C-alpha cells in the first residue's frame, strides 16, 4: 500500500486529489501548506500542518500548493510529484511521462499541462493528419480556488449592476470571452465558465492521405455530438467528436476535457499505478 501525502490539501486541487486517492489502495495524509486557520481546522476535510517528521516513511509527496517552510523536504528521501501551476522549471523535476507508471530511478516529476497531454493524443485519435489549427476555449478551473472565487465574485457584481473588481484575476472574466495572443496555430480564448475546456481543431490531411478515426486510447471516448463544457466538467474521460468532409481531406475535431479531472487526477493515478 502506497503512503502518500498531499501538501495543499485545503486548496481546490488538493481536495480533489485527496478525494481521488482515498478510495484507492493507498493511505493519504492531507497536509496544509503551513499553520492552519480556524476555518481550515473546522472544514469538512481534516488537514494537518506540515512537519518534516510527518514525511518520514512516506512513499510519495504530492505538491498541490507551495509549502510555507522551504526546508520541509530537506531530509525527505522519497518521491515528489509537483502539480503546482508554477512548476515549470528543471528544479521541479522532469515532466511526468505521457504513459505508464513511475519509472524506477526517478525521484521527482512535475505535471504537464492538460493542453499538452490532449495534443499528444492527436496521432492516437485520427490517422492521416497533416496540418492542425484551432481554438482552445479555456475555463477558469486552471486557476483553482483563485479562479473559481474570482469569477463568482465578478458574476455576482455584474448581476447587481456593479462594475466587477478585476484585482483577483487580473482581467474581467464574468460574461466575457477574452482571446489571448495566438501561439502558433492555436488561439486561446478564456471563457466565463467554471469547469470544462473545449479544443476545437481544424484538421487537414497529409499529402496522399485521408483522415480517419482510430479506436480511442484509454481515457478517451468518442461521442456522437460535439461535447459541451457541461459534458466534460463531469467526465474523467477526454470526450472526442470528429466531423469529416465528404472526401475526408478536412475535418473538425472537438475535444472536451476538464483540466483537473482529466489533466491532473487521471494521469496522477496512472503514474502511481492506482
CATH number at residue 175: 3.30.360.10
Number of domains the chain is built from: 2
Q: Looking at residue 91, what is its pLDDT? A: 67
268 domain-assigned:
no
Rounded mean pLDDT of 77-86? Answer: 88
Range of the domain at 101: 2-111
Rounded mean pLDDT of 132-147? Answer: 89
Residue matched to cell numbers 468532409: 245
pLDDT tens digits for range 165-202: 998 889 999 999 999 999 889 999 999 998 899 999 99
Does residue 47 share a domain with residue 6? yes
**What single-letter DSSP state applies at residue 83?**
-
Asked if pLDDT for residue 42 goes beyond 60, the answer is no
CA angle 261, 174, 266 (to 5 degrees): 5
Rounded mean pLDDT of 112-116? Answer: 92
Question: What string of DSSP letters covers 202-245?
Answer: EEEEPTT---EE-PPPTTEEE-SSPPPHHHHHT-SSEEEEEEE-
Cell of 54: 510527518
Helices 12-21 and 144-159, axial angle in degrees (round to 10): 120
Please answer whether residues 135 and 226 qualify as being in contact, where contact means their C-beta atoms are separated by less than 8 angstroms.
Answer: no
Does residue 249 share a domain with residue 206? yes
CA angle 95, 101, 105 (to 5 degrees): 70
Does residue 216 share a domain with residue 102? no
Q: Band of the pLDDT at 90, cuts 50, 70, 90?
A: low
Q: Band of the pLDDT at 141, cuts 50, 70, 90?
A: confident
Amino acid at each position: 500500500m502506497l503512503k502518500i501525502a498531499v501538501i495543499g490539501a485545503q486548496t481546490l486541487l488538493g481536495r480533489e486529489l485527496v478525494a481521488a486517492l482515498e478510495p484507492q489502495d493507498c493511505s493519504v495524509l492531507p497536509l496544509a501548506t503551513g499553520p492552519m486557520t480556524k476555518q481550515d481546522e473546522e472544514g469538512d476535510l481534516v488537514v494537518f500542518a506540515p512537519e518534516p517528521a510527518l514525511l518520514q516513511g512516506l512513499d510519495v509527496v504530492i505538491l498541490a500548493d507551495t509549502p510555507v517552510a522551504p526546508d520541509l523536504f530537506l531530509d525527505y528521501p522519497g518521491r515528489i510529484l509537483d502539480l503546482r501551476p508554477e512548476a515549470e522549471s528543471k528544479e521541479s523535476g522532469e515532466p511526468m511521462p505521457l504513459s505508464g507508471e513511475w519509472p524506477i530511478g526517478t525521484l521527482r516529476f512535475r505535471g504537464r499541462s492538460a493542453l499538452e497531454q490532449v495534443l499528444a493524443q492527436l496521432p492516437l485519435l485520427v490517422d492521416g493528419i497533416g496540418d492542425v489549427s484551432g481554438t482552445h476555449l479555456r475555463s477558469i478551473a486552471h486557476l483553482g480556488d483563485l479562479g473559481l472565487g474570482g469569477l463568482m465574485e465578478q458574476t455576482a457584481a455584474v448581476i447587481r449592476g456593479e462594475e466587477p473588481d478585476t484585482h483577483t484575476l487580473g482581467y474581467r472574466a464574468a460574461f466575457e470571452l477574452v482571446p489571448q495572443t495566438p501561439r502558433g496555430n492555436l488561439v486561446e480564448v478564456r471563457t466565463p465558465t467554471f469547469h470544462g475546456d473545449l479544443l476545437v481543431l481544424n484538421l487537414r490531411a497529409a499529402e496522399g492521405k485521408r483522415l480517419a478515426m482510430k479506436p480511442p486510447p484509454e481515457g478517451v471516448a468518442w461521442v456522437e455530438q460535439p461535447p459541451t463544457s457541461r459534458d466534460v466538467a463531469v467526465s474523467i474521460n477526454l470526450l472526442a467528436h470528429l466531423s469529416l468532409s465528404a472526401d475526408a481531406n478536412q475535418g473538425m475535431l472537438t475535444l472536451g476535457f476538464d483540466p483537473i479531472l482529466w489533466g491532473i487526477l487521471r494521469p496522477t493515478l496512472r503514474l502511481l499505478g492506482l
